[in-house]
């Protein structure tokens, strides 16, 4: 019951899920840019979406579907154009996409979800989407490769795919959760230019699936930041088709706890790896806060440090400029006594304390630089005040971030 096994799988790992990814010509290049996920059985669904006031058309569309549809069976996503700031025409593209996909897949129109990421303000060419859906439907498969194609098709400036699957047991039945995501830029709590699709064969009610997502996302996807920009398109969807055959989870209890543990592994893995693959990143920048007065303060502190351009630039430069971490804590909105705080750097190369009792420690700059030179770096902050903790993930700020974003569209 306790064993959760992590595998290299993705959205096709759970029973009954198929996927495909094709090049539909929406991107300027000939890279894959349209993905489809299909569940053979009707799936309950939960979703979380961007908090941005300017919501892309597919976000508004999906919010309505997640709210009103009893089940769904397909997700159609593209990575060329965000379909944001596109007014009524953008909504019409979503409706037509769902209509065509429903016809081709033989499912109800309200069982189709839509996702988009890419340039804001441009309209999606409907003819390319229609042809793309036809091709995707033909290629649908439950293989690992099909899932990899789908992941490739939602990536933008991502340099590596983010995919994971876990298996575990509920009521004697093997249950699988598989997921994929794309991130890279416009990544900031809450949510990101992030598309995350989680597919599970767990038998779970819509209410409990929703509770699971709402409970886990605040500690995972909402704790990452690449650049402080909360996107118009952030979408997290989890589909559960019940094919594992476990006793239906309809309330809190042991089975729900097991599901939550497994889901947390999937969500944290995808979130952490989106942070590590942030635009231009050379390192994962992890900030752990412990000993805070309350969870809210711990989160504010961790997120403030991980989002600071100056802290990120210091990590890029492998420079132990620890005052910047203190400074970012100071404007986080959390109240605290700076004299009580201790700061440590940690990585595979070791750990070192640089600040305590209100003053700099006499530490070796060379050793600190060596610890900060790894590709995963943790700043450990102990507030020495209470028992609350939080972790945030981000990345360093490099020349390449600027290069990528000064000239993204061309």
Site for a copy of itself, rule CB under 8 A: 51-55, 82, 84-89, 119-122, 185-186, 188, 227-232, 307-310, 313-314, 316-317, 319, 321-324, 326-332, 334-336, 338-339, 355, 357-360, 397-399, 401-403, 405-410
Phi, psi of 293 (to 5 degrees): -65, -35
Minimum distance, C-beta of residue 39 to a copy of itself, in the bound complex (Å): 32
166: left (phi over 0), alpha (psi -120 to 50) or beta: beta
**In 10 A of CB 405, how many CB atoms?**
15
DSSP 8-state secondary structure symbol assigned to residue 310: H
- Determine whether 282 is an active site residue: no
Q: Is-cis flag, bond preceding 190, omega within 30?
A: yes
Q: Which two tokens stand for residue 141?
A: 């498969």
Minimum distance, C-beta of residue 229 to a copy of itself, in the bound complex (Å): 5
Question: In the complex with a copy of itself, which residue's Cβ is closer, 334 or 390?
Answer: 334
In the three-class reduction of DSSP (H, G, I as helix; E, B as strand; rest coil), residue 204 is classed as strand
Contact (CB, 8 A) for 190 and 224: no
In the three-class reduction of DSSP (H, G, I as helix; E, B as strand; rest coil), residue 251 is classed as coil
Question: In the complex with a copy of itself, which residue's Cβ is closer, 20 or 329?
Answer: 329
Minimum distance, C-beta of residue 124 to a copy of itself, in the bound complex (Å): 13
Minimum distance, C-beta of residue 305 to a copy of itself, in the bound complex (Å): 11
Minimum distance, C-beta of residue 63 to a copy of itself, in the bound complex (Å): 15
Report the largest interatomic distance among the alpha carbons of the chain, rounded to a whole angstrom. 69
Question: In the complex with a copy of itself, which residue's Cβ is closer, 252 or 360?
Answer: 360
Question: In the complex with a copy of itself, which residue's Cβ is closer, 355 or 393?
Answer: 355
Among residues 167, 193, 235, 282, which one is catalytic? 193
Using CA atoms, how far apart are residues 309 and 315, in angstroms rounded to an integer? 10
Cite the DSSP H helix spans in 69-141.
Answer: 87-105, 126-139
Block residue for tokens 């999906």: 62
**In 10 A of CB 347, how many CB atoms?**
19
Question: In the complex with a copy of itself, which residue's Cβ is closer, 180 or 283?
Answer: 283
Q: Which two tokens stand for residue 11?
A: 């959205």
Task: Please name the helix (run of DSSP H) or strand (run of DSSP E) that holds residue 397, with its range, or none.
Answer: none
DSSP 8-state secondary structure symbol assigned to residue 35: E
Question: In the complex with a copy of itself, which residue's Cβ is closer, 162 or 312?
Answer: 312
Using CA atoms, how far apart are residues 111 and 102, in angstroms rounded to an integer? 8
Contact (CB, 8 A) for 164 and 269: yes
Question: In the complex with a copy of itself, which residue's Cβ is closer, 144 or 188?
Answer: 188
Q: Which residues are catalytic?
A: 193
């Amino acid at each position: 019951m306790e064993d959760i096994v992590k595998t290299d799988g993705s959205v096709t790992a759970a029973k009954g899920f198929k996927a495909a990814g094709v090049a539909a010509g929406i991107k300027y290049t000939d890279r894959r840019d349209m993905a489809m996920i299909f569940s053979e059985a009707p799936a309950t669904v939960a979703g979380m979406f961007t908090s941005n006031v300017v919501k892309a058309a597919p976000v508004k569309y999906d919010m309505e579907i997640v709210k009103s549809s009893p089940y769904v069976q397909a997700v159609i996503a593209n990575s060329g154009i965000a379909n944001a700031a596109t007014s009524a025409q953008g909504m019409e593209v979503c409706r037509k996409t769902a209509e065509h996909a429903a016809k081709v897949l033989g499912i109800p129109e309200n069982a189709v979800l839509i996702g988009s990421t890419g340039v804001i303000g441009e309209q999606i060419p409907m003819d390319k989407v229609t042809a793309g859906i036809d091709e995707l439907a033909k290629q649908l498969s439950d293989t690992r490769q099909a899932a990899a194609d789908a992941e490739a098709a939602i990536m933008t400036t991502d340099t590596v795919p983010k995919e994971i699957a876990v298996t575990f047991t509920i009521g004697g039945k093997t249950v699988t959760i598989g997921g994929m995501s794309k991130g890279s830029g416009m990544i900031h709590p809450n949510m990101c230019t992030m598309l995350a699709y989680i597919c599970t064969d767990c038998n779970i009610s819509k209410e409990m699936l929703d509770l699971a997502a709402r409970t886990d996302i605040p500690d995972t996807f909402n704790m990452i930041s690449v650049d402080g920009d909360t996107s118009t398109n952030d979408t997290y969807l989890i589909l559960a088709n019940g094919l594992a055959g476990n006793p239906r989870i309809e309330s809190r209890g042991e089975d729900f706890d097991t599901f939550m543990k497994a889901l947390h592994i999937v969500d944290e893995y995808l979130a952490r790896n989106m942070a590590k693959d942030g635009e231009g990143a050379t390192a994962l920048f992890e900030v752990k806060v412990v000993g805070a007065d309350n969870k809210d303060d711990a989160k504010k502190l961790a997120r403030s440090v991980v989002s600071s351009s100056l802290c990120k630039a210091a990590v890029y430069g492998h420079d132990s400029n620890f005052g910047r971490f203190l400074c970012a804590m100071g404007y986080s909105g959390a109240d605290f006594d700076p004299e009580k705080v201790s700061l440590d750097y940690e990585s595979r190369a070791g750990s070192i304390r640089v600040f305590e009792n209100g003053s700099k420690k006499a530490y070796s700059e060379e050793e600190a630089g060596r610890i900060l030179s790894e590709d995963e770096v943790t700043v450990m902050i102990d507030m020495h005040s209470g028992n609350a903790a939080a972790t945030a993930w981000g990345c360093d700020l490099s020349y390449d971030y600027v290069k990528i974003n000064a000239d993204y569209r061309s």
